[in-house]
Structure 1
Amino acid sequence: MRNVERFIGDKLQERKDNLSIRSLSTNIPPVDFCSNDYLGFARSGELKHMINSTLASMQNHLNGAGGSRLLSGNTRFTEETEAFIADFHQAESGLIFNSGYDANVGLLSSVPQRGDTIITDELIHASIIDGCRLSHATRFKFYHNNINDLESKLKLAKGNIFVVVESVYSMDGNIAPLLALSDLCERYKANLIVDEAHATGIFGANGRGLINQLNLTKQVFARIVTFGKALGVHGAIVLGSQNLRQYLINFARSFIYTTAAPIHNIVAVNCSYQYLSKIDHQLIHQKITLFRKALKENHIKTLSSESAIQGILFSSNEATKQAAANLQSKGFDVRAILSPTVALGKERLRICVHTYNTDEEIISLVNYLKELN
């Protein structure tokens, strides 16, 4: 056996031994409390009809882009969609990337330079971490949502300073103290970057996100909005100034050196934004309130969260996996989030609440959770 095969085998065995091995499965329980499809857009027949009708109106559209945006892959419709989304979020400009991962990597690997400083929340998403690693800037992280610790790092920062947070954190579901963060960044002349992946569609007027809700659009250097969560489709956009858009076109490698999204993907994004204006934006919050009220009545401890992401902590990978398996056997698609994805000792069930979860399903899930405690 070659050394590299032995290394691979040893690493996989290590994951098996600590019960953190990942695997793919097509066996999905019928009641969804797992996906990021918070508003039901991914399964919406009405949205699908809008997408298909728009595509049918486009004569001779291609199956694929045929190249990067800088070669054959750009279209007027794509640029109109970028402008439409930027206007929706009250941003000056926007640039679409093929995924949220590509957007974060492209932005953070290209804008901060050697001699600059990036400061991130310790619970920031892996795509942001990877983008920062590709930058030559000095990197710090601060304790989760801890303004005092952030300020201690800002005092050490040099060059152009970038503070990077999520508005809603993907594993805890809690919200960043955006007003305090903005004030602190203003005081230290730092550039605030906010990933709005799990806030878009849920918070703000018509789902515009927390930056819009808090009137911080002028205070934020860049926002990353992804389309694969509440919007139910795929891709992402970096929102910021017109100069930032032009810079990313010239320097963001994850934009420059990849085949562009096909036109049917851009149509899906455009239609999804139009569909946002048609829905009842209070319904998701009613479902979240019902779930948290039922948990409280049954004395089930949960992470503090106003978002669609709800976390229930367990003591180990084994206990969390057993809890998830138990719920899945009852027909509920609830997944275990294990270390090292989350910190050791903070393994949890990550439960996502959706508009299409019936009240009966929510109450039934809570009753089964009570049996696990």
Structure 2
Amino acid sequence: MLKKFQETLDKRKESGILRTLKPQAAGIDFYSNDYLGLAGNKEIQGQLLQQVQENPKLLSGSSGSRLISGNSNTVNETEHYIAEQHQYPAALLFSSGYNANLALFSALPDRHDTIIVDEQIHRSVHDACRMSYAKKLKFRHNDLEDLESILKKQTGPCYIAIESLYSMDGDLAPLQETAVLAKKYNAALIVDEAHALGVFGYGLIEKFQLQNDVFAVVMTYGKALGAHGAAILCGETIKSYLVNFASPFIYTTAAQDFLWMAVKTGYEFLKQRPELSEKLHQNIEIFRTQNIKSTSSELSPIQAVLVPDNQPLKNLQKTLSDKGFLTYAVYSPTVKTGTERLRICLHSFNTKQEIIELTETIKTCI
């Protein structure tokens, strides 16, 4: 059995796409999801430290799942606060966005239902669908005509799963139009806002006031909020159903209260510092005016630069790395052959000079 695994790893190594864990590198950050710089913000760190000094119990282990001994006042208060901020009846916290998606799509749809997912939806949703008894269908990325053609053929209850801002292509979903389509066919729309929170205030659902049209929303906190964990925004009935039937929630030991306190502190800081998002969008505009061809939205902090073929992409990333720029290359088979890309993440803390030097280096290589 070990031989089979090693042979598979060897093939991946020969192809030059073997994944390995590396220490954090020093350099100019154009690859992390820390869009607003909150992960290393000294002011937030000071606030967190003060709260821990005032209440050291925040660092204690939860000692059990939420249904046994891990349901603290802190987590309940944080859920209430999050639901209120997003104008949803309820919120349910998870240790990660991956777990939140596993819970949603494994627990809610049953064998008589259909889950229709955008082909670019996050891997966690695909994995969750494998845990469900429901039928899964894919529609072409952001293609409303294809989605409607699939909806027309369904006879039972349907769920539609999309992201508001896609993490690989850096493009936006047609949220309002998708919500109209979901309502037309009485389908439950579920939206993952992992990369939109903080970049667009409290996310695009809040921006377009679609709370009454979106069945459930996944918010994650390890990106622009600079913390960790995730929340499902939903109605009280759905929250109760998940507490009763979602295995990833029921059988997971609750996180420390420090995590939930950090999430709430991040929200409060975000509300007080709108200039961080403004600076981020200024930097996105600077990048977009440097004549680098990108398939991403002009509003997205994620800018995908296509470099077909793995070897030229490796060469480009190495050149950038040698100059101190930290970027992320996405090789096939992670993406389809011919769509390999350099995934550039822009931040509020990047300088204009850094962005210009990055783009000038890219131009010399492609």
TM interval, short-chain normalised: over 0.9
The equivalent of 1:334 in structure 2 is 327
Q: Deviations over 1:8-32 (max 9, x none)?
A: 0111122123222111111514100
Q: What does residue range 314-353 of structure 1 map to in structure 2 within 5 Å?
A: 314-353=307-346
> SS at the partner of 1:194?
strand
Picking from 349, 358, 362, the partner of 1:356 is 349
The equivalent of 1:18 in structure 2 is 15
Query: Are the counterparts in 1 of residues 121 and 166 from structure 2 also a CA contact under 8 Å?
Result: yes
Distance in 1 (CA, whole Å) between partners of 2:322 and 2:21 is 18
Note if 1:290 corresponds to 2:290. Answer: no
Q: Deviations over 1:161-202 (max 9, x none)?
A: 100000000001100001110111111000000000000001
Q: Are the structure 2 counterparts of residues 69 and 321 from structure 1 closer, same or farther at C-alpha, using a change threshold of 3 Å? A: same
Query: Are the counterparts in 1 of residues 113 and 157 from structure 2 also a CA contact under 8 Å?
Result: yes
Q: Deviations over 1:301-347 (max 9, x none)?
A: 11132211001001112221221111011100011111222122111
Distance in 2 (CA, whole Å) between partners of 1:8 and 1:355 is 42
- Aligned-residue CA RMSD in angstroms? 1.1
The equivalent of 1:148 in structure 2 is 145
Note if 1:259 corresponds to 2:253. Answer: yes
Q: Which amino acid aligns with 2:327?
A: V
How far apart are residue 273 of structure 1 and its match? 0.7
The equivalent of 2:102 in structure 1 is 105
Distance in 1 (CA, whole Å) between partners of 2:365 and 2:56 is 56
Query: Are the counterparts in 2 of residues 29 and 332 from structure 1 also a CA contact under 8 Å?
Result: no
Picking from 25, 28, 33, the partner of 1:31 is 28
Note if 1:304 corresponds to 2:296. Answer: yes
Q: When the two structures are superposed, what TM-score results if normalisation uses the length of structure 2?
A: 0.97
Q: Gaps (5+ residues) in structure 1?
A: none
Distance in 2 (CA, whole Å) between partners of 1:141 and 1:53 is 48
Distance in 1 (CA, whole Å) between partners of 2:168 and 2:59 is 38
Query: Are the counterparts in 2 of residues 63 and 263 from structure 1 also a CA contact under 8 Å?
Result: yes
Q: Deviations over 1:81-118 (max 9, x none)?
A: 01111111111110000100000001100000001000
Identify which range, 336-345 or 355-364, moves more after superposition. Answer: 336-345
Distance in 2 (CA, whole Å) between partners of 1:26 and 1:117 is 42
Q: Which amino acid aligns with 1:11?
A: T
Distance in 1 (CA, whole Å) between partners of 2:68 and 2:314 is 47
Q: Which amino acid aligns with 1:192?
A: L
Q: Which amino acid aligns with 2:285?
A: T
Distance in 1 (CA, whole Å) between partners of 2:24 and 2:359 is 23
Q: What does residue range 114-193 of structure 1 map to in structure 2 within 5 Å?
A: 114-193=111-190
Q: Which amino acid aligns with 2:353?
A: E
Distance in 2 (CA, whole Å) between partners of 1:180 and 1:266 is 34
Q: When the two structures are superposed, what TM-score results if normalisation uses the length of structure 1?
A: 0.95
Q: Are the structure 2 counterparts of residues 49 and 108 from structure 1 closer, same or farther at C-alpha, using a change threshold of 3 Å? A: same
The count of residues paired between Structure 1 and Structure 2 equals 363
Query: Are the counterparts in 2 of residues 202 and 230 from structure 1 also a CA contact under 8 Å?
Result: yes
Q: Are the structure 2 counterparts of residues 335 and 59 from structure 1 closer, same or farther at C-alpha, using a change threshold of 3 Å? A: closer
Q: Which amino acid aligns with 1:326?
A: T
> SS at the partner of 2:190?
strand
Q: Which amino acid aligns with 1:37?
A: D
Q: Deviations over 1:51-97 (max 9, x none)?
A: 11222222544521111111111111111101111111111110000
Q: Which amino acid aligns with 1:17?
A: E
How far apart are residue 214 of structure 1 and its match? 1.2
Query: Are the counterparts in 1 of residues 217 and 233 from structure 2 also a CA contact under 8 Å?
Result: yes
> SS at the partner of 1:277?
helix
Q: Which amino acid aligns with 1:156?
A: K
Picking from 238, 246, 253, the partner of 2:240 is 246
How far apart are residue 277 of structure 1 and its match? 1.2
Q: Which amino acid aligns with 2:267?
A: Y
Q: What does residue range 204-223 of structure 1 map to in structure 2 within 5 Å?
A: 207-223=201-217
> SS at the partner of 1:163?
strand
> SS at the partner of 1:229?
coil
Q: Gaps (5+ residues) in structure 2?
A: none
Identify which range, 281-290 or 9-18, moves more after superposition. Answer: 9-18
